[in-house]
Structure 1
Amino acid sequence: MDKNTVLEKSRNSRSDEGIEYAESKGRKIGFVIFSLIFLFIILFNLFFSGGNNSVFYAASSMFWIFISTDAFEKFKFTRKKSHLVITIAGGVATIIWLANFIIITLE
């Protein structure tokens, strides 16, 4: 393949490696910040909730669905069983925390 053909293919492709890199880096930073905010909300709720755990249940369900979907995408690419286990466990945890949130809220 000559240089012009490679350049033409690159120009015609709809993906840009720079954008893909930025998105990947943004996701990694977002995951860290999301985890820190989750931890803050959980600890704050632990000390100042007055026994109301609905915030804990809501935040936990969001955290676990995030973990589960991330692991599922990794599983689709790598086919590692550990990612599949995390996907299933995260999905189950999401359902449990979400059900607890709904039950507590409707009481």
Structure 2
Amino acid sequence: MKREEILEKSRQEKRDEGKEFVLDKGRKSGVIGMVIIFCILAVFNLYNNRQETNSALIAMMFGYLGFEGLGLYKVTKRKLDLIKIIAGCVISISFLVIYLTKVSN
């Protein structure tokens, strides 16, 4: 292909690699922030004898990881991402059930 054909094809895709790079960096920062807040809340709950709310925190964290794996699997089709989906969802649902049973009693 000639240079002009490659440039024209790139323009037709309407993808902005710079914008995608920035969004990926933002997601990475968001995940790091979420993990830090999760750790702070988990330690706080353990210190104040509120372990029942840790189940909700764990359910939220693994639910996020499962759905993140879903987005990655749709693009990459890697087995590791599929395992991440299954493990994340199973752990999330398990801890959600634990939390709901503790709260309803």
For the criterion TM > 0.5, the same-fold answer is: yes
The answer to whether structure 1 residue 30 and structure 2 residue 30 are counterparts is yes
Cα displacement (A) at 1:83: 3.0
Taking structure 1 as the reference length, the TM-score comes to 0.81
2:18 corresponding residue in structure 1: 18
Tell me, in whole angstroms, the C-alpha distance in 1 between the residues paired with 2:85 and 2:8. 40
1:74 corresponding residue in structure 2: 72
Tell me, in whole angstroms, the C-alpha distance in 1 between the residues paired with 2:13 and 2:83. 35
Unaligned 5+ segments in structure 2 are none
Q: Number of residue pairs matched?
A: 104
Tell me, in whole angstroms, the C-alpha distance in 1 between the residues paired with 2:69 and 2:18. 24
What percent of counterpart residues are identical? 31
Letter of the structure 2 residue corresponding to residue 68 of structure 1: G
The answer to whether structure 1 residue 46 and structure 2 residue 46 are counterparts is yes
Give the match's secondary structure for 1:86: helix
Q: CA RMSD in A?
A: 1.8
Give the match's secondary structure for 2:14: coil
Unaligned 5+ segments in structure 1 are none
Give the match's secondary structure for 1:105: helix
- Residues 74 and 11 from structure 1, CA distance in 2 versus in 1: closer, same or farther, beyond 3 angstroms? closer
Tell me, in whole angstroms, the C-alpha distance in 2 between the residues paired with 1:98 and 1:69. 15
1:91 to 62, 85, 89: 89
- Equivalence map 1:4-15=2 (5 Å): 4-15=4-15
Letter of the structure 1 residue corresponding to residue 86 of structure 2: I
Cα displacement (A) at 1:78: 4.2
